[in-house]
Amino acid sequence: MKALGIIAGGGDLPRAVAESARESGRDVFVVGLRGLCGDWAEGFPHEWVSLGEPGRALKALAGAGAGDVLLVGRVERPKFSELKLDAKGLMVIPKVLAAARQGDDALLRLLVGLFEAEGFRAVGVADAAPGLVAEEGALGRIKPTDEHQADIARGFAIVRALGALDVGQAAAVCEGLALAVEAAEGTDRMIARVGELRESLRGTADKKRGVLVKGLKPTQDAKTDMPVVGVQTVRRAAEMGLAGIAVEAGKSLIVDKRAVKDEADRLGLFVMGIRP
């Protein structure tokens, strides 16, 4: 099996994928995006590249004998006018700008196409590290109530509608009221916002109410941008008084399931994989 090339942005997910793939016996080569990917990449065969250097990334992947390529992790949009572009970067920048105008997903699809045009096979996290994929049912001890189930259903309806427009992938709902909806700020900041609402609208750390729902956008390619829940997500949700987290089974990732389960049990939250 050819090596797995991981183009790694920010956050915990790239490392989790790299470690999971290595543990399953696969050769892994990391292309760390400078300023985004953490130091952990130094523990793998790797190369650092800047966002404007697709040529350099492709060359490093070819040199490492990578066959499958995975784009993973948080990438904030750069100021395109300030990018230092290599030769390949100069060639593709007009298409990148056009795609960027259509939203993040269009941009990701373009990048995936770029790697495929060079003979790599774009793979998703589910292929590279299937152990991270959320399964159906409650991960821990705590189960959602009927009221939570109703909020979960409403949350998925909102996330699907937003997702169809490439807006965001998360929402918080409490007893029918949409507390917060994610756009460019990301899920963590969206969750933090719940705690700024009046207490009558939401739960508290002592008396938890409402749910966080994360779902794959219909426009999203499961290969590149599955929703992710980790220990931090559970902690943040608990702090903001949410009673639990629901994700789509088979189409979401849970980084470090054991730790997520333990933390959810400790804090009194449910973490559910749902087939909506």
What the block records as the tokens of 82 is 């300030």
Report the nearest approach of a second copy to the CB of residue 171 (Å). 7
Report the nearest approach of a second copy to the CB of residue 82 (Å). 8
Q: What backbone phi and psi angles, to 5 degrees, belong to 112? A: -60, -45
Q: How many angstroms separate the CA atoms of 55 and 59, rounded?
A: 6
Report the nearest approach of a second copy to the CB of residue 243 (Å). 15
When the beta carbons of 77 and 258 are compared against a second copy, the nearer one is 77
- Residues lying near a second copy in the complex (CB under 8 A): 76-79, 100-104, 150, 154, 157-158, 161-162, 164-168, 171-172, 175-185, 189, 193, 196-201
Report the nearest approach of a second copy to the CB of residue 102 (Å). 6
Number of H helices, E strands in the chain: 9, 13
H-run or E-run covering 140: none
What the block records as the tokens of 72 is 């993973």
Burial class (CB within 10 angstroms; exposed 0-12, middle 13-18, buried 19+) of 269: buried
Nearest to 184 by CA among 173, 170, 196, 195: 170
Report the nearest approach of a second copy to the CB of residue 108 (Å). 13
Q: How many angstroms separate the CA atoms of 265 and 276, rounded?
A: 24
Find the DSSP H helices in 102-145: 104-117, 125-128
Report the nearest approach of a second copy to the CB of residue 199 (Å). 8
When the beta carbons of 124 and 163 are compared against a second copy, the nearer one is 163
When the beta carbons of 15 and 209 are compared against a second copy, the nearer one is 209
Specify the 3-state DSSP secondary structure of 85.
coil
The CA distances from residue 179 to 195, 241, 246, in Å, are 10, 12, 15
Report the nearest approach of a second copy to the CB of residue 198 (Å). 6
When the beta carbons of 87 and 177 are compared against a second copy, the nearer one is 177
Q: How many angstroms separate the CA atoms of 142 and 228, rounded?
A: 20
When the beta carbons of 78 and 268 are compared against a second copy, the nearer one is 78
When the beta carbons of 54 and 168 are compared against a second copy, the nearer one is 168
When the beta carbons of 6 and 194 are compared against a second copy, the nearer one is 194
